[in-house]
Amino acid sequence: MISIRLYYFIAMDFRTIVPVRNQSPKIDYNANIALFGSCFVENIGDKLQYFKFNALQNPFGIIFHPVALRNLFRRIDENYVYSERDVFQLNDLYSCFDVHSQMSHPDRSLMINRLNNSLETTRSFLQESSHVIITLGTAWGYVLNQDERLVANCHKVAQSNFTKKIFSSEEIKKSIAEISNIIWKLNKNSKIIFTISPVRHLKDGFVENQLSKANLINALHDYRKEIKLKFDKKTAYFPSYEIVMDELRDYRFYGKDMIHLSEVAIDYIWEKFKDSWIDPEVFSVMKEVSTIQKGLDHRPFNEDSPKHREFLDKLSQRMEKVQHKNPSIKF
């Protein structure tokens, strides 16, 4: 017979569950979702793209700092046109301090075209966006000594050219407000979903990382409190940071570097996001899309076998059926 004390411990749930609200408007296959920010936003973006939602993900590359993201939104608002003055060459690549290094290119003209195409694509997408997801990564940033502007990425330029700085919650709050206003200027109906990245920036230091996250959290919640009366239903907060800190408090939920999240953790947070934001009416479509995706990833022993050709024919029929019911889905 199980003792009363043992039964008590078996019945207990040895963790704290972060409540996640049921949000609206829901994301379905008519939604247009823009995602900006740290590497964590790409975890959510990758899931949305896997299930074939219409999502624009980090068109300027990963942007960790909210002030750097604000600088890009200013470019969008100003109809800015990048030119030769905005790029520099280092290590056989042309780069721009406004964007991530994944945007860099060995050809200067192509690099400038890439920058301007990203601005135009983002501007056009935001005009039609139903949801905008923004993940704030860090309050620490590098200011270029030459003109005292925050850079989005140092591009391996010598550190002597920069001054490292932690931005105050007030500075970050102003940037969040400016980003939001530009989004609503382009599309007054966009719902902005804010999150704080649970990924720690330990290169800044353990204590310094906590200070950084505290500034981000204070800035974001102060901003949402200030606009509550006028824009209460136009923003929302998804507690990804709190889910990792309070529910997934174990290193088994981290990758090999013990900093980034494991696939298990990403899947768990995605399920929380799905329950909060995705329209339940499309769950069956998502399941079918997932089946098709697995079929597309299948690698046969013999591509020319009759059995594999039959498999591909059936897969093609399933794709056509899904696309007929949901024209926005593209495989």
DSSP structure string for 128-192: H-SEEEEEE--SEEEEETTTTEEES--TT--GGGEEEEEPPHHHHHHHHHHHHHHHHHH-TTPEE
What's the confidence (pLDDT) of residue 15?
78
pLDDT value of residue 175: 98
Domain ranges of the chain: 22-278, 280-331
CB-based contact 224:65 (threshold 8 Å): no
Cα 139 to its chain centre, rounded Å, is 17
User: With 80 as the cut, is the pLDDT of residue 1 above it?
Assistant: no
Structural contact between residues 129 and 187, judged by C-beta atoms closer than 8 angstroms: yes
Residue keyed to tokens 């704080």:
196
CA-to-CA separations, 330 to 46, 52, 150, 312, in angstroms, rounded: 15, 7, 38, 17
Average pLDDT over residues 29-46: 96
pLDDT at 293 over 80: yes
**Angle at alpha carbon of residue 91, lines to 119 and 136, rounded to 5°:** 40
Confidence label for 11 from pLDDT (cuts 50, 70 and 90): low
Q: Is the pLDDT of residue 78 over 60?
A: yes
Does 252 score more than 60 pLDDT? yes
Determine the pLDDT at residue 229: 73
Q: Which range among 263-267, 268-272, 297-301 shows the weakest confidence by mean pLDDT?
A: 297-301
Measured CA angle at 303 (ends 298, 306), to 5 deg: 110
**In terms of C-beta distances under 8 Å and separation of at least 24 residues, what long-range contacts does 205-213 make, across chains too?**
208/140, 208/166, 209/138, 211/139, 211/166, 212/138, 212/139, 212/140, 212/166, 213/139, 213/241
pLDDT for 6 beyond 80: no
Give the CATH architecture of domain 22-278. 3-Layer(aba) Sandwich (3.40)
Q: Provide the pLDDT for residue 37.
A: 97
Q: Could you report the per-residue pLDDT of 109-167, keeping only the tens digit for each? A: 999 999 999 999 999 999 999 999 999 999 999 999 999 999 999 999 999 999 999 99
**Which residue's entry shows tokens 């936003």?**
41
Looking at per-residue pLDDT, the higher value among 16 and 329 belongs to: 329
pLDDT in tens, 79-114: 999 999 999 999 999 999 999 999 999 999 999 999
Q: pLDDT at position 8, please?
A: 56
Given a cut of 70, is residue 4 above it in pLDDT?
no
Q: What is the pTM of this model?
A: 0.93
Q: Determine how β-strand 140-144 pairs with β-strand 149-151.
A: antiparallel
Strand-pair partners of 93? 90
Percent of the chain at pLDDT > 70 equals 96
What is d(CA 175, CA 71) in angstroms, rounded to the nearest whole number? 9
Instruction: Kindly indicate the confidence band of residue 298, based on its pLDDT and cuts at 50, 70 and 90.
Output: confident
Rounded CA gap, 298 and 307, in Å? 13
* Over residues 186-198, mean pLDDT: 97
* pLDDT tens sequence across 302-313: 888 888 888 989
Q: Residue 55 pLDDT more than 80? A: yes
pLDDT at position 324 is 95
95 CB contacts (<8 Å, ≥6 apart)?
87, 88, 89, 101, 103, 104, 111, 153, 155
